[in-house]
């Protein structure tokens, strides 16, 4: 029992990394290699389960915008890939390691290249800040906590293996679950910085989220991207602050 507690406390101190741009210390129990492997296998599943757009011009356009943002991300070690999926759902995401997917549905909402860059910057920011891995790490710790408790309560060993169990489950679904509000703001901040560095107009980020806000008020059913990315006044005000904080020179 005492040993497990020490291990748990030890992990809390050892597994810390820092996010880019925002410089937040984050708890991390997943190595970059593990994360890359997870992203790659998840990307294969996405490709298998989706209809890839046959629109070559559109694929090229998204690739060009993605590469322009990736070029200022400082992660030339990522296996960057940009794919458009033929799906009317407004959605986009970036898996760990730089596999980015855009649904045609979100491209119906974006009005220009700077707004596509807004979504691109935001999604890439989630991967740069390792939000998926951080969430899995937190999940693992809460399960380790449960394991410590299980040992203390003399739960039979066959039920104590929550760590492996939980890790298996979260590694399956943890990458595409919605992020917390904190992660959303952080991705906005990093995303605005990235689009600005890449030469896009950050004020279009405000326009995009204002449009999203209007859309969410108009639409009767909740759109998946809007439900995980609430476009409310708080978010828009925060983005305005991030734009104001950008350095005067690129």
Q: Would you tell me which residues interact with Zn ion (CB under 5 A)?
A: 187
Name the token pair of 134.
Answer: 């951080």
- In the complex, what is the shortest distance from the CB of residue 84 to Zn ion, in angstroms, rounded to a whole number? 19
Q: Which is nearer to Zn ion, 150 or 187 (CB)?
A: 187
- In the complex, what is the shortest distance from the CB of residue 182 to Zn ion, in angstroms, rounded to a whole number? 11
| Residue 85 φ then ψ, to 5° | -105, 135
Q: Which is nearer to Zn ion, 43 or 187 (CB)?
A: 187
- In the complex, what is the shortest distance from the CB of residue 92 to Zn ion, in angstroms, rounded to a whole number? 9
Q: Which is nearer to Zn ion, 127 or 166 (CB)?
A: 127
| Residue 81 φ then ψ, to 5° | -150, 140
Q: Which is nearer to Zn ion, 187 or 198 (CB)?
A: 187
Q: Which is nearer to Zn ion, 176 or 243 (CB)?
A: 176
- In the complex, what is the shortest distance from the CB of residue 90 to Zn ion, in angstroms, rounded to a whole number? 13
Q: What would the DSSP string read from start to end of the chain?
A: -HHHHHHHHHHHHHSEEE-TTT--EEE--S-HHHHHHHHHHHHHHHHHHS-B---HHHHHHHHHHHHHHHTTTT-TTS--EEEEE--SS--EEEETTTEEEEEHHHHTT--SHHHHHHHHHHHHHHHHTTHHHHHHHHHHHHHHHHHHHHHHTT--GGGTTHHHHHHHHHHHHTTTSPPPHHHHHHHHHHHHHHHHHTT--THHHHHHHHHHHHHHHH-SSPPHHHHHS---HHHHHHHHHHHHTS-S--
Catalytic residues: 123
- In the complex, what is the shortest distance from the CB of residue 14 to Zn ion, in angstroms, rounded to a whole number? 28
């Amino acid at each position: 029992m005492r040993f497990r507690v020490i291990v748990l406390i030890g992990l809390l101190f050892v597994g810390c990394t820092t996010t880019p741009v925002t410089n937040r210390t984050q708890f991390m129990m997943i190595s970059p290699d593990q994360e890359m492997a997870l992203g790659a296998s998840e990307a294969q599943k996405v490709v298998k389960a989706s209809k890839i757009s046959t629109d070559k011009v559109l694929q090229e356009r998204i690739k060009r915008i993605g590469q322009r943002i990736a070029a200022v991300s400082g992660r030339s070690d990522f296996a960057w890939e940009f794919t458009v999926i033929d799906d009317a759902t407004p959605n986009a995401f970036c898996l760990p390691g730089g596999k980015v997917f855009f649904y045609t549905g979100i491209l119906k909402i974006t009005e220009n290249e700077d707004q596509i860059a807004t979504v691109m910057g935001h999604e890439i920011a989630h991967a740069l800040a390792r939000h998926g891995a951080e969430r899995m790490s937190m999940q693992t710790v809460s399960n380790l906590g449960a394991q410590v408790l299980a040992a203390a309560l003399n739960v039979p060993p066959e039920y104590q293996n929550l760590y492996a169990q939980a890790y298996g489950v979260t590694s399956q679904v943890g990458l595409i679950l919605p992020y917390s509000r904190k992660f959303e703001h952080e991705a906005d901040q990093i995303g605005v910085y990235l689009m600005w560095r890449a030469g896009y107009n950050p004020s279009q980020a405000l326009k995009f989220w204002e449009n999203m806000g209007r859309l969410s008020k108009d639409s009767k059913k909740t759109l998946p991207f809007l439900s995980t990315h609430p476009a409310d006044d708080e978010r828009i005000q925060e983005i305005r602050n991030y734009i104001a904080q950008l350095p005067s020179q690129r």
